[in-house]
C-alpha cells in the first residue's frame, strides 16, 4: 500500500509573539522515514507537537491519511492521537507502572481491549524492542535509559499507529546506550513503519532516512536525499550545522 | 509521678474517654471533607481556567489566614444570622473541614505539580482523555507523593478537634476540662488527654508510614 500518510501545509506557530514555525510544509508517504534536523530552537519539537495537537498551531493545515486533523479535526482529538505514536526525548514512562503496564495501559484504557488481549499485544511489542520478560515487572526507575526508551517505543507501537513521531529519541542517552535504541528504530524502518524522526545521528540518518529536512528559524531551509544533504549541503546554514555535528562526533561528544 | 493523681484517672478516666467518640467524628469528618473538597480545589488550580483557578486560590488563601477558633465561632454564631443553624458538631466539622481543605489542596497541588509534565504529554499522546489522564496517571502518583503531607494534616486536624471545646462539643478535651472542674484537679486530666492525643497521633503516623512503604515504587517520591 502506498499513499500519503501525513501532509503538513504552511504551518505557523508563535509563542507570545515569538514565531517558532513560519510556514512549514511537507508530506510523509506510507512506509517512508523522514528525518528532521536543525539547531536547537529551530522549531523541531514544536513541529512534532503540532502534528499530534499537543500544541495548537496558529495557522495552516494538517491531514492524516487524507483526512483533516487541523484546523477542523475529522474526529475527536484523542481518537486522532491514537493513530500517531510519539516517542519523547526523555522517554516519559509512567513511573508508577511496571514495564508491562506502561505498554498495555493505552491498549486497555484507550483502545478498550480485554486485559488478556492487551497483555498479549504488549508482550509482542516488548519483544520487538528486545525487552525480555525478566524486565516486564520492573519499574522505569530500575531500567537504564536505553531500556526505558525501548519500552517507550514499545508503548507507542503497541497502539499500532499509522505514523510514529520521534523527538530526539537518543539525545538524552549515554553514548554507549544510543546504539541499542537506534537498532530498534532501524528494525522498525525495515518493517516499513512510517516515521518522522528528529535526530542528529548523522550515520543513522544517512542509513534509514528517505529524506532529510533541515529546519532553521521555523522554516525548512533545505530538504533532499540524505547523501546530498549530509555530503553536499547547499544552504550555508545547513553546511555550518552539519559541520558542527561532524565535529561533535569526532570529538566524541554527543 | 507527683502531678498525676491515679485516683482521678481511675474514677474519671472512662468519662474522659467517652469524648473519643466525638473526637473521632470531628477528625474523620473534617479530614474527609477537607480531602474531598481539597482535591477539587487542587485540580481546579492545576487544570482549571484562569478565572476558576484564581477563585480556588482566593478561597484557599482566605481560609488559611483565619484562625480555626475564629472560623469555628463565625460558623457557629454567624451562620444562624443568615438562616442556617448548625449543631455544634456540624459547625466544628465544617470549620475543621474548611481549614483542612485549604491545606490539603496545597499539599495535593504540589504533588500534582511534582509529576513530570512529560508524562502528561505521553498520556495524551496515547489518546487518553483528560479524565483517563487524571485517574490512571495523575491521581495514583500524586496520592503517593502527597501521603506524608496528608498524614501530617490528619494529625493536625485530630489535635485541633480540641478547639471545638469553644462551642461546647463534648469531645475528648471538653470532657477532660469538665472532669478537671469536678475533680478540682487540672493537671491529671490534661496530662491524660495529652497522652491520648499523643498515642493516637503516633499510631496513625506509624500505620501510615507502613502503608507508605508498602505502596512505595522505585523512583517515585514514596521510595525514600
Q: What is residue B1's predicted lDDT score, i.e. its pLDDT?
A: 54
Q: What is residue B212's predicted lDDT score, i.e. its pLDDT?
A: 85
Instruction: Read off φ and ψ for residue A24, nearest 5 degrees.
Output: -95, 130
Can you read off the three cell numbers belonging to residue B216?
512505595
Of the listed ranges A40-44, A59-63, A124-128, B23-27, the one predicted with least confidence: A40-44
Q: Are strands A18-29 and A33-37 parallel, antiparallel or unpaired?
A: unpaired
Residue range A163-206, pLDDT digits in tens: 999 999 999 999 999 999 999 999 999 999 999 999 999 999 99
Q: What is residue B9's predicted lDDT score, i.e. its pLDDT?
A: 87
Q: Is B137 within 8 Å of A102 (Cβ atoms)?
A: no
Q: Is B174 within 8 Å of B167 (Cβ atoms)?
A: no
Counting beta carbons within 10 angstroms of the beta carbon of residue B112, is it exposed (0 to 12), middle (13 to 18) or buried (19 or more)?
buried
Nearest Cα residue in chain B from A110: B128
Q: Is residue B167 part of a domain?
A: yes
Find which of A56, A84, A94 to mutate to test the B interface (most B CBs within 10 Å of its CB). Answer: A94
Q: Indicate if the pLDDT at residue B83 is higher than 80.
A: yes
Question: Comparing B224 with A227, which gets the higher pLDDT?
Answer: A227
SS3 of residue A121 by DSSP: helix
A105 touches chain B (CB under 8 A): yes
C-alpha separations of B23 from A78, B89, B167, B216 in Å: 47, 10, 14, 31
Same domain (yes/no): A107, A79: no
Can you read off the three cell numbers belonging to residue B28?
474523620
Residue range A143-170, pLDDT digits in tens: 999 999 999 999 999 999 999 999 999 9
A1 touches chain B (CB under 8 A): no
Same domain (yes/no): A40, A74: yes
Rounded Cα–Cα distance for residues A238 and A242 (Å): 6
**Which chain B residues are Cβ-neighbours of A75 within 8 angstroms?**
none
Q: Is A22 within 8 Å of A219 (Cβ atoms)?
A: yes
Q: What is residue B224's predicted lDDT score, i.e. its pLDDT?
A: 41
CB–CB contact B118 A82 (8 Å)? no
Same domain (yes/no): A77, A14: yes
Residue range B166-201, pLDDT digits in tens: 999 999 999 999 999 999 999 999 999 999 999 999
A140 touches chain B (CB under 8 A): yes
**DSSP code, position B184:** T
How many Å from the N-terminal Cα to the C-terminal Cα in chain A? 37
Counting beta carbons within 10 angstroms of the beta carbon of residue B41, is it exposed (0 to 12), middle (13 to 18) or buried (19 or more)?
buried
For the segment B39-44, the average pLDDT, to the nearest whole number, is 92
Residue range B113-147, pLDDT digits in tens: 999 999 999 999 999 999 999 999 999 999 999 99
CATH for A15: 3.40.50.300
Of the listed ranges A34-38, A70-74, A237-241, the one predicted with least confidence: A237-241
DSSP string for residues in A76-95 = -HHHHHTTEEEE-TT----T
CB–CB contact B136 A105 (8 Å)? yes
Q: Is residue B181 part of a domain?
A: yes
Which residues, at least 6 apart from B163, have a Cβ–Cβ distance to it below 8 Å?
Answer: B68, B69, B72, B92, B95
CB–CB contact A110 B127 (8 Å)? yes
Beta bridge partners of A36: A198, A213
C-alpha separations of A181 from A164, A197, A213, B63, B114 in Å: 15, 13, 22, 52, 28
At residue B223 the predicted structure's pLDDT band, cuts being 50, 70 and 90, is very low
Number of domains forming the structure of chain B: 1
Same domain (yes/no): A74, A169: yes
**Which chain A residues are Cβ-neighbours of B129 within 8 angstroms?**
78
CATH for B184: 1.10.3720.10
Domain that residue A192 falls in: 4-83+161-242
Strands (E), chain A: 4-15, 18-29, 33-37, 59-64, 67-70, 84-87, 163-167, 195-198, 211-216, 219-224
Number of domains forming the structure of chain A: 2
A50-83 residues labelled b (16+ CB within 10 A) or e (exposed): bbbbbbebeebbbbbeeeebbeeeeeebbebbbb
Residue range A79-100, pLDDT digits in tens: 999 999 999 999 999 999 999 9
Q: Is residue B1 part of a domain?
A: no
Q: Which of A106, A127, A154 is the last residue of a domain?
A: A154
Amino acid at each position: 500500500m502506498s499513499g500519503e500518510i501525513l501532509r503538513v501545509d504552511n504551518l505557523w506557530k508563535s509563542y507570545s509573539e515569538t514565531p517558532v514555525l513560519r510556514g512549514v510544509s511537507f508530506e510523509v508517504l506510507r512506509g517512508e522515514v523522514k528525518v528532521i534536523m536543525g539547531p536547537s530552537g529551530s522549531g523541531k519539537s514544536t513541529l512534532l507537537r503540532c502534528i499530534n495537537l499537543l500544541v495548537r498551531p496558529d495557522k495552516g493545515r494538517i491531514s492524516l491519511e487524507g483526512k483533516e486533523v487541523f484546523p477542523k479535526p475529522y474526529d475527536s482529538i484523542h481518537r486522532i492521537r491514537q493513530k500517531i505514536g510519539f516517542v519523547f526525548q526523555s522517554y516519559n514512562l509512567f513511573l508508577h507502572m511496571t514495564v508491562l503496564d506502561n505498554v498495555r495501559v493505552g491498549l486497555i484504557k484507550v483502545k478498550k481491549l480485554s486485559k488478556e488481549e492487551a497483555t498479549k499485544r504488549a508482550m509482542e511489542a516488548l519483544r520487538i524492542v528486545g525487552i525480555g520478560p525478566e524486565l516486564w515487572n520492573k519499574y522505569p526507575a530500575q531500567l537504564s535509559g536505553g531500556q526505558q526508551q525501548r519500552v517507550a517505543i514499545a508503548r507507542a507501537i503497541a497502539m499500532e499507529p499509522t505514523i510514529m513521531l520521534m523527538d530526539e529519541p537518543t539525545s538524552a542517552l549515554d553514548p554507549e546506550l544510543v546504539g541499542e535504541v537506534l537498532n530498534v528504530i532501524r528494525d522498525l524502518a525495515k518493517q516499513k513503519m512510517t516515521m518522522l524522526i528528529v535526530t542528529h545521528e548523522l550515520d543513522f540518518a544517512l542509513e534509514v532516512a528517505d529524506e532529510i529536512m533541515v529546519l532553521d528559524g521555523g522554516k525548512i531551509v533545505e530538504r533532499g536525499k540524505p547523501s546530498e544533504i549530509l555530503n553536499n549541503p547547499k544552504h550555508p546554514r545547513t553546511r555550518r550545522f552539519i559541520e558542527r555535528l561532524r565535529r561533535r562526533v569526532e570529538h566524541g561528544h554527543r | 509521678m507527683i502531678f498525676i493523681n491515679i485516683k482521678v484517672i481511675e474514677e474519671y478516666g472512662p468519662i474522659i474517654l467517652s469524648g473519643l467518640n466525638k473526637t473521632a467524628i470531628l477528625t474523620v469528618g473534617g479530614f474527609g471533607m477537607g480531602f474531598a473538597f481539597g482535591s477539587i480545589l487542587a485540580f481546579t488550580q492545576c487544570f482549571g481556567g484562569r478565572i476558576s483557578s484564581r477563585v480556588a486560590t482566593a478561597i484557599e488563601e482566605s481560609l488559611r489566614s483565619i484562625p480555626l477558633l475564629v472560623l469555628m465561632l463565625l460558623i457557629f454564631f454567624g451562620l444562624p444570622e443568615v438562616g442556617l443553624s448548625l449543631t455544634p458538631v456540624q459547625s466544628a466539622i465544617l470549620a475543621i473541614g474548611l481549614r483542612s481543605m485549604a491545606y490539603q489542596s496545597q499539599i495535593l497541588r504540589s504533588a500534582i505539580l511534582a509529576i513530570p509534565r512529560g508524562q502528561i504529554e505521553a498520556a495524551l499522546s496515547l489518546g487518553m482523555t483528560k479524565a483517563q489522564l487524571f485517574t490512571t496517571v495523575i491521581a495514583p502518583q500524586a496520592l503517593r507523593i502527597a501521603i506524608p503531607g496528608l498524614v501530617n494534616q490528619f494529625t493536625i486536624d485530630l489535635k485541633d478537634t480540641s478547639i471545638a471545646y469553644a462551642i461546647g462539643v463534648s469531645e475528648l478535651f471538653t470532657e477532660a476540662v469538665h472532669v478537671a472542674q469536678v475533680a478540682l484537679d487540672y493537671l491529671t486530666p490534661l496530662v491524660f488527654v495529652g497522652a491520648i492525643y499523643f498515642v493516637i497521633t503516633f499510631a496513625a503516623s506509624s500505620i501510615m508510614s507502613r502503608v507508605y512503604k508498602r505502596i512505595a515504587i522505585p523512583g517515585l517520591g514514596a521510595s525514600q
